[in-house]
Amino acid sequence: MATALAQIHLKASPGTKSFLQMAAELSGAANLTDYILRAAITRAREDIAEHRTFALSDEAWAVFEQRLEAPVRELPHLCSLLNSPDVFDRPA
């Protein structure tokens, strides 16, 4: 069964298109679409990874670990809020 493909439409100046076409040819990409998709996917992975991981110094890591391992604080107002009926539980 063939996989359905979604279209992505781009507009660029003729100079930009020529520039990208040249890069696609030099890279050995099958065509301009493959080149642009490969570059976009690579960049998307980098952007997503930046938001999934973070680096900490040894000192910052120690503080982070300490806070993770600390006992849970009692927050009565939060407990009350979480235990109260929400708008979906109230009669109409």
Domain count, the chain: 1
**Are 49 and 38 in contact, with CB atoms under 8 Å apart?**
no
In tens, the pLDDT along 19-46 reads 999 999 999 999 999 999 999 999 999 9
Strand, coil or helix: what is 56? coil
**Can you give the pLDDT at residue 1?**
63
| Cα–Cα distance list, 15 to 22, 28, 32, 34, 55 (Å) | 11, 20, 14, 19, 40
User: Is residue 74 included in any domain, yes or no?
Assistant: yes
User: Is residue 79 included in any domain, yes or no?
Assistant: yes
User: Is residue 1 included in any domain, yes or no?
Assistant: no
User: Is residue 43 included in any domain, yes or no?
Assistant: yes
Range of the domain at 22: 14-83
**Can you give the pLDDT at residue 54?**
81
Angle at 77 between CA 71 and CA 78, to 5 degrees: 60
CB atoms near residue 21 (< 10 Å): 14
User: Is residue 45 included in any domain, yes or no?
Assistant: yes
In tens, the pLDDT along 44-86 reads 999 998 888 888 999 999 999 999 999 999 999 999 998 888 8
User: Is residue 5 included in any domain, yes or no?
Assistant: no
User: Is residue 9 included in any domain, yes or no?
Assistant: no
